Amino acid sequence: MKPEQKQIYYLSGASKEAANASPVLERLRKKGYEVLLALDQIDEIALQGVGKFGDFDVIDAAKENADLGELTDEEKGEAEAAKEELKATVEFLKASLGDRVDKVEVSSRLTESPSALVQPQWGMSPQMQRFMKAQAAAAGTDDMGMMGGMASNLEINPKHPVILKLKDMVGEGGAAAEAPSAGFAELVYDVAAVSSGYELTDASAFAKRVVALMELGVDGLAALVTNPPAGEAPAGEAPATTADWSGVSAGDVVGEASETVVETPDEDKPIEPEVL
């Protein structure tokens, strides 16, 4: 370890290649810091249990509280200027993505990628989320616990052309920016999720955004936002819901105009087969 490395970092991943490709390692790699790769779930659990080794904290490199090393005075000045310049963009991303992200921040850990997802201090890594999901499925429940439901932080690279393009699209409008920016923001999040090892909740929507971008550019993304495919609600609108039949029993009249009567079979009466 280099003398200036203040923590022992680890990162979980499905494979060595996937872990090494994670954007959260970019600054650590640039500084020449060492990182342990936890490729089995038991590795991550064991490292979490260690907590501290000698004078060094053992910490997930993908957590927001990881010490990425001291910034130079020049880097500090650039970071403060970037936060001010991207203030409207950060607000727009948070408004567009809503509860999917806990917060959006200008990153100091990214040097090559446009964006990355970083876990809050008490959040779960992508590998641990998959493990907990499998455990919950085996137990016949969808409950992953409170930490499993925590949203990640979205970090953006202030020097990347993609983020600068989004900045120009958003302009000074903040959350009021038009549809192309909303579609672009979705892709920024999707790229962060995929590159950081997370599973996309809607891979089909991601594929449609990529195809729209390939076909028509940013205008294609705008069309998806304003005119979503059948079955998808426009951005900002709740999807259509199906009728709620809870509490309706046999003989109840549904709707005054239709006079439709709901009939349910008598549980005590056996169902007779129909002879064809």
Q: Where are the domains of the chain?
A: 70-226
Q: Which of 172, 126, 134 is nearest to 15 (CA)?
A: 126
Report the SS3 class of residue 69. Answer: coil
Residue 168 half-sphere exposure toward CB, CA atoms < 13 A? 6
- Give residue 105's pLDDT band: very low, low, confident or very high (50, 70, 90): very high
pLDDT reading at 227 higher than 80: no
In this structure, what are the phi and psi dihedrals at residue 29, rounded to the nearest 5 degrees?
-65, -40
CA angle 119, 121, 127 (to 5 degrees): 45
The top-level CATH class assigned to 70-226 is mainly alpha
User: Is the confidence at residue 236, as pLDDT, over 50?
Assistant: no
In this prediction, residue 11 carries a pLDDT of: 92
Q: What is the pLDDT of residues 135-185, one digit of tens each?
A: 777 777 765 554 455 789 999 999 999 999 999 988 855 554 577 788 889
Q: How much of the chain exceeds pLDDT 90, in percent?
A: 35
Q: From the CB of residue 165, how many other CB atoms can be counted at a distance below 10 Å? A: 15
Structure tokens at 60: 């997930």
| pLDDT 10s digits, 36-88 | 998 887 888 888 888 888 889 999 999 998 888 888 889 889 999 999 999 99
Q: Packing angle between helix 126-138 and helix 41-50, nearest 10 degrees? A: 110
More confident residue, 154 or 242: 154
